[in-house]
Structure 1
């Protein structure tokens, strides 16, 4: 998979939404694996580990991926981007860790809202600073309106699932962790997109993401193993191991899309797709306690409208004599 010419929003937006639609499926698989293992950290490690194995096979098989891998050392040596971009996958590991640590306290809905809030706000800043491969993109009033409307829409769509958080003071740290993880996700996408341009393919950036993320999760799991011991044995059903391959698709296409859409619009589009995917998954394969209300559907539709608004230019006042 080589870096193609810049995609128009007509193509890029539906593709980003399609990528986001599959995210809830990965979450459902990893969640089921965590329950089966009685160890959410081990489930995250299995997900990253299977993704790493797949990316190693792809990098050894495809000529484009092999050529990209050969560009890693020259890219770092020549200073094409900062060396810490190689560790972008650690941000993904932090996000997975924050899920396993805080969802039991906050619930999935509140976790999603605060993470989207952090990612949306940082997406504006990352685009404004020109960190990603799409270059500098101004924080126009229309983009700001789109971000605010997206956050409100996500809150509305997930509002039927909100539970009682408990004491606000004791929930402050659990809320701040997914906010921080969401903020860093925008930087991860920018780092991956920039590195992919210099490698000539997003496959190499994806490989290095899984190397870094797997390393962090393995270290954390080994510490947990020493403290609490192992969980249940690995299941034999093949579908428990699809989370990693799905993650490969998300990261590779995300690194590809930020070049055309920018960090903010890529993140918002994936969020919209995530809501659509969750809705479809709850309709077709409902989990215990699934809630589908009018707010769920209306909030999802409003999120998609907010994404389209973000792509529109801010109307300029006409000049001259009427």
Structure 2
């Protein structure tokens, strides 16, 4: 099992991949002269990569019963991902990569603390302690500084 340091480095590199993806998608929008088609291309390539991943992992196709019993709201992850891609294609060029990411992280942190605190969507509860709230406040201060 990888150490916490290795997992933290991988998580940080994932952040690099996310902003790189958004910059590429914004440039693809210019190249294709269409935000919508840039999103379609991004998702098509992503879908192809996920099929390769499924094959590499040798995961069986989920049963029809499992698909039918899944709560409707769990299916919205793809729609939220598409919304993220579409908005990022527009916002990264207008705000800049640093401001976009700072605002993105602030929104994620605020929502994450609330979701953890209330155990939303089946998460294990983790209290919104004063230390966590101060951390979120400092992140918001960081967003303000990055935006200036």
Q: TM-score, normalised by structure 1?
A: 0.40
Distance 2:121 2:131 in 1: 20
Q: Which runs of 5+ in 2 are unaligned?
A: none
Distance 1:10 1:139 in 2: 24
Aligned partners of 1:124 and 1:139 also within 8 Å: yes
Q: How many residues align?
A: 147
The alpha-carbon distance between structure 1 residues 11 and 137, as it changes in their structure 2 partners (threshold 3 A), is: farther
Match of 1:41 in 2: 36
Aligned residues: CA RMSD: 2.8
In the alignment, does 2:55 pair up with 1:66? no
Distance 1:32 1:134 in 2: 36
Distance 1:154 1:65 in 2: 42
Q: Deviations for 1:54-87, whole angstroms, at most 9, x for unmatched residues? A: 222332x23x3422x325x44344x4x5232122
In the alignment, does 2:110 pair up with 1:121? yes
Structure 1 runs of 4+ aligned residues shifted over 6 Å read none
Aligned partners of 2:106 and 2:140 also within 8 Å: yes
The alpha-carbon distance between structure 1 residues 12 and 65, as it changes in their structure 2 partners (threshold 3 A), is: same
Match of 2:95 in 1: 107
Greater relative contact order, per chain length (Cα 8 Å cut-off, separation 6+): 1
Match of 1:166 in 2: none
Match of 1:98 in 2: 87
Distance 1:11 1:142 in 2: 25
Q: Which runs of 5+ in 1 are unaligned?
A: 160-322
The alpha-carbon distance between structure 1 residues 129 and 8, as it changes in their structure 2 partners (threshold 3 A), is: farther
Aligned partners of 1:76 and 1:83 also within 8 Å: no
In the alignment, does 2:148 pair up with 1:155? no
Match of 1:28 in 2: 23
In the alignment, does 2:8 pair up with 1:16? no
Aligned partners of 2:106 and 2:143 also within 8 Å: no
Distance 1:83 1:40 in 2: 28
Q: Give the match's secondary structure for 2:59.
A: helix
Question: Structure 2 matches for 1:243-258, cutoff 5 A?
Answer: none
The alpha-carbon distance between structure 1 residues 12 and 103, as it changes in their structure 2 partners (threshold 3 A), is: closer
Q: Deviations for 1:265-318, whole angstroms, at most 9, x for unmatched residues? A: xxxxxxxxxxxxxxxxxxxxxxxxxxxxxxxxxxxxxxxxxxxxxxxxxxxxxx
Distance 1:92 1:31 in 2: 15
Question: Structure 2 matches for 1:225-236, cutoff 5 A?
Answer: none
Q: Which has the larger radius of gyration?
A: 1
Match of 1:56 among 44, 48, 51: 51
Q: TM-score, normalised by structure 2?
A: 0.79
The alpha-carbon distance between structure 1 residues 121 and 65, as it changes in their structure 2 partners (threshold 3 A), is: farther
**Where is the helix percentage greater, Structure 1 or Structure 2?**
2
Aligned partners of 1:116 and 1:151 also within 8 Å: no
